[in-house]
């Protein structure tokens, strides 16, 4: 697979412990809104309905093992699905704190510690609960020559937002953390209340 220098600044072979071989790419932040990481498995060029996860940076969960978030678990599930398909794309957007930035994310942890869910903790800072932008997703998939995707998400609003950029989303695939951390249940209940398609509304005191 060749990559276009108009979007990607670097690429290399990449191997994961549980999901094997990928190609890892990073976008050029002089062109895109940040340095987005992209994992590509198999040959996705000109393949329709490619499994694709569009995740946002969440260093506290994916790197630091936070017990109040399901982001790491969703990433694992997405990689399981991509691996089972033998091909797919995971786009890791450089958008911490749902697009509000890392400083806001860390400040919001104080609200979460006081009992607020992840949305209200951000809103208490006077910021929008979700400030993400998906325009770079269309650029990335265009460079990869992926004509259409099955989007791995539980959030119908994300499906609409990604489709609004011109990406052809032919289906939504659930992307669940099947063993979420105990303190993330409040967060998951809030997601369900805000329209995320979860199999049942998690109860914060259930575990």
Active site residues: 130, 132
Where would I find the H helices in 65-178?
71-85, 102-113, 118-123, 135-143, 156-163
Cα 121 vs. chain centroid, distance in angstroms? Answer: 20
Sequential DSSP letters for 171-192: EEE----SS--GGGHHHHHHHH
Strands 88-93 and 50-56 come out as parallel
- Which tokens hold the place of 54? 């569009």
41 to each of 19, 79, 157, how far by Cα in Å?
A: 9, 9, 26
Question: Do 159 and 169 form a contact (C-beta atoms < 8 A)?
Answer: yes
Q: Which H helix or E strand runs over 90?
A: strand 88-93
- Which tokens hold the place of 50? 């490619």
């Amino acid at each position: 697979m060749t990559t276009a220098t108009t979007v990607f600044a670097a690429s290399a072979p990449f191997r994961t412990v549980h999901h094997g071989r990928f190609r890892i790419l990073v976008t050029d932040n002089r062109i895109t809104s940040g340095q987005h990481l992209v994992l590509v498995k198999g040959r996705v060029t000109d393949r329709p309905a490619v499994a694709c996860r569009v995740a946002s940076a969440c260093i506290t969960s994916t790197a630091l093992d936070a017990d109040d978030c399901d982001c790491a678990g969703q990433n694992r599930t997405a990689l399981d699905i991509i691996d089972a398909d033998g091909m797919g794309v995971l786009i890791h957007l450089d958008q911490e704190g749902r697009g509000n930035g890392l400083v806001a994310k860390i400040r919001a942890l104080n609200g979460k510690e006081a009992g607020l869910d992840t949305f209200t903790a951000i809103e208490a800072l006077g910021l929008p609960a979700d400030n993400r932008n998906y325009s770079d997703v269309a650029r990335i998939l265009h460079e990869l020559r992926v004509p259409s995707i099955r989007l791995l998400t539980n959030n119908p609003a994300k499906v609409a937002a990604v489709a609004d950029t011109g990406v052809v989303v032919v289906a939504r695939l659930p992307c669940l953390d099947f063993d979420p951390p105990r303190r993330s249940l409040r967060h998951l209940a809030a997601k369900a209340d805000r329209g995320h398609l979860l199999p049942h509304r998690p109860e914060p005191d259930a575990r």
